[in-house]
Structure 1
């Protein structure tokens, strides 16, 4: 068992919600990386927000456009966890795309490429199984093509981070 410093104990006390569940209260940067306690970070997305699918897509797109794919992933994760069972794979796939972009922007070649491809496959698989061409106005084929192209670019770049804002996908296709 490791030692516990007073600072660590204080931080752990702050990292619990009112029901005693663990919550990481450390500030984070725009790509979701933890910063030291007390540092100025980017406001986090509130957890457990129930949004309509249209609200989810719009909010996630705003975050992606702002270069905050980690935060967009949290929005998709809320939809995945609160939405109907039959749509969870769609939202999980979209969350994987956002996390893949997050890793690519951090310079993580393996994680970025893997999650981008996994998310692309998940979204396409869900669409094929559901028999829906453009769920909630999303462009699944365009998203899959974007993700696979970015995964290839990430591998070619060999660890050079991508610009998350510049490489953000258009969830509903070309504007």
Structure 2
């Protein structure tokens, strides 16, 4: 069953309220036909045009949201790390993940595991801030495992050992106390000596 208000597939169709947008089944406003079809970018690729909040959660069409990170922006590794750190510090780990994902896609093969792991750590923090403990633990563990092979070399000053310890600490805290956690207050330092 598809929600008439937001166009997403309902995970709990028996519920009277859409778990994605909160619209009731009988009172759901009718979205324009164009918004119910799949959003596409200028090149015709599927691209969700719904605004997002600071943690990357989709909002209803026409809602104010946080500007998304543009895709495919060429950045040096240092620029990507600085921008991702800024976004993490601002409590926007989902947006930091988008910057790190761009770096992952552009990285040489030998560095892709590092960038993928950094992106996974940012997504893990996103899940933790949203209160999704199981998703957070899975992504934090996966991200820590992906960056672990770089512990001896610490490319670009990435504090691999510190990030692995941070992931263990957050995972343990989530398993002991649950979530959500404050995104900005829980953000890691990506590089050694980063303030």
Please confirm whether the aligned pair reaches a TM-score higher than 0.5, indicating the same fold: yes
After TM superposition, give the deviation of residue 43 of structure 1 in Å: 0.6
With normalisation by structure 2, the TM-score equals: 0.81
Residues 91/11 of structure 1: CA separation in 2 closer, same or farther (3 Å cut): same
Residues 14 and 25, structure 1, Cα contact 8 Å, conserved in 2: no
Point out the structure with max Rg over C-alpha. 2
Residues 41, 156 of structure 1: alpha-carbon distance in 2 compared, 3 angstrom cutoff: same
In the other structure, the counterpart of 2:153 is 133
RMSD: 2.0
Q: Give the counterpart of 1:98 among 110, 122, 128.
A: 122
Q: Is the 8 A contact 2:81 2:190 kept in 1?
A: yes
Return 5+ residue gaps in structure 1 as ranges.
none
SS at match of 1:7: coil
CA distance in 1, matches of 2:36, 2:111: 35
Matching residue of 1:156 = 176
Query: Does structure 1 retain, via aligned residues, the 8 Å contact 2:38–2:46?
Result: no
Residue of structure 2 equivalent to 1:107: 131
**TM-score normalised per structure 1:** 0.90
Q: What's the secondary structure of 2:192's corresponding residue?
A: coil
Q: RCO greater where, 1 or 2, for CA within 8 Å and sep 6 or more?
A: 1
- Please give the alpha-carbon distance, in whole angstroms, between the structure 1 residues aligned to 2:90 and 2:171: 20
User: Which residue of structure 2 aligns with residue 171 of structure 1?
Assistant: 190
Task: Give the Cα separation in 2 of the matches to 1:2 and 1:149.
Answer: 39
Q: Give aligned pairs, total.
A: 170
Does 2:92 correspond to 1:35? no
- Alpha-carbon distance between aligned partners in 2 of 1:113 and 1:100, rounded to the nearest angstrom: 7
- The aligned residue for residue 24 of structure 2 is none
Task: Give the corresponding residue for 2:107.
Answer: 83
Partner of 2:21: none
